[in-house]
Amino acid sequence: MDIKKEVFGKYREKQVDAYTLKNDHGMEVTFITYGGAVTKILVPDRNGRLENVVLGFGTLDAYIEHTHYFGAIVGRVAGRIGQSRYDHQGETVELTPNEGENHLHGGRSGFNSGVWEEEEVAIEFDRVSVKISYLSRDGEEGYPGNLKVFVTYTLTNEGCFHIKYQAEADRDTPLNLTNHSYFNLSGDAKEDVLGHVLQMDADSFLPLSEENLPTGEIRPVEGTAFDFRQKRTIREDMGKSEETKNGYDHPFVLNKSGNITLSHEGSGRVMTVGTDQESFVLYTGNFLTGDILSEGVPAGKHAGLCLETQGYPDAVNHPHFPSVMVKAGEEYRASTSYTFTVKK
Ligand code: G6D
């Protein structure tokens, strides 16, 4: 078990560091303190060949220039907030619009573009972890209150990459954190993800409006292109419905103690996602534009897929959705794990 720390660059006079967490079986997770972005996850295939299973860039400039949120921590509120506003206790809070009139992924300068600070590095016999922090000041992107966020990235000797989120604010605020890694289990993005096999314990999904905002309906997946309760490839039903012909970009409601399993036949790699979050967005990289990855290959459409575990998007504007409001002084906690195994 080991952790390597290197300087990755400088952003607005702040040093950006890269940390590489290693376990005893060759698996590695690398992230940078710019946006807390996960840049590489090296996982063996069935022949023991270590390859990168997330989309990532090799330079800080590329992360600054491209807003696909590769690997980034997203907040204060992941997803969209309609009309960039919400009401709370009789007050209307105006956030910064950054997608038409709507607010997406924390605004123009969300958590994905902040430089996070090292809090703690821990090396134990069966796991290594790095805890980082970010202070979102009162009024940042329109949000109320000073919010201190801690994220702990852990890699275990059992092949589990675990993300723990903790936060506390001095005023009531919405909070909905996620990690925006794009997974591609073929390794080094050698093929797109449409042939990946996905199984999701999700009986319902949230239909979207033209602006990709939840309509408020919670619809059963039965008989739709959103039914992944039995495993199927991404492409199998994608083209069969108007809503998914360009790919998936939809929130699902995760069944209690449900899991998500993604696998790639060619490599034998399997990733199982577990979380304490009630929802997640399946996004199949529909808007990727061919940016050149650290492996020197372009990340075109469907080059990677995201499983953004989180609260319900736009929950602040849908009272019947589970709330994402955190009270002043209350501790927010959330966690998600990505466990990698190999099918011989
Ligand atoms: C697009 O609609 C999608 C989002 O879901 C995704 O998070 C973003 O691109 C990166 O806006």
For the stretch 152-200, pLDDT in tens is 999 999 999 999 999 999 999 999 999 999 999 999 999 999 999 999 9
Query: Rounded to whole angstroms, what are the CA distances from 277 to 11, 155, 162, 283, 318?
Result: 32, 20, 14, 17, 17
Q: Ligand 1 test: best mutation among 104, 176, 281, 305, most atoms within 8 Å of CB?
A: 104
CA distance 319 to 314: 10
Find how far residue 146's CA is from the centre of its chain: 23
Rounded CA-CA distance 245/284 in Å is: 11
Which residues span the domain enclosing 275?
Answer: 2-342
For the segment 212-226, the average pLDDT, to the nearest whole number, is 98
Q: How far is the CA of 103 from the centre of ligand 1 (A)?
A: 12
For ligand 1, the distance from its centroid to the CA atom of residue 208, given in whole angstroms, is: 13
Q: pLDDT tens digit string along 85-122? A: 999 999 999 999 999 999 999 999 999 999 999 999 99
Give the closest residue to 53 by CA, choosing from 215, 281, 293: 293
pLDDT, mean of residues 292-301: 96
| Range 308-331 average pLDDT | 98
CATH of the domain at 141: 2.70.98.10
Quick one: tokens of 71? 């690997």
**Residue 140 among the catalytic residues:** no
263-274 confidence digits (pLDDT tens): 999 999 999 999
Q: Which residues line ligand 1 (CB under 6 A)?
A: 68-69, 212, 249, 281, 283, 287
| Residue to mutate (ligand 1; options 178, 179, 181, 249; most atoms within 8 A of CB) | 249
Model confidence over 242-281: pLDDT tens digits? 999 999 999 999 999 899 999 999 999 999 999 999 999 9
Q: Distance between CA atoms of 193 and 184, rounded to whole angstroms?
A: 6
Does position 293 have pLDDT exceeding 90, yes or no? Answer: yes
- 86 C-alpha to ligand 1 centroid (Å): 21
How many whole angstroms from 310 Cα to the centroid of ligand 1? 14
First to last CA, the chain: 25
Q: What is the pLDDT of residue 257?
A: 86
The answer to whether residue 343 scores a pLDDT higher than 90 is: yes
The single-letter code of the amino acid at 211 is E
Number of domain units in the chain: 1
pTM (whole model) above 0.85: yes
Q: How far apart are CA 210 and CA 246, in angstroms?
A: 13
Does position 67 have pLDDT exceeding 90, yes or no?
A: no
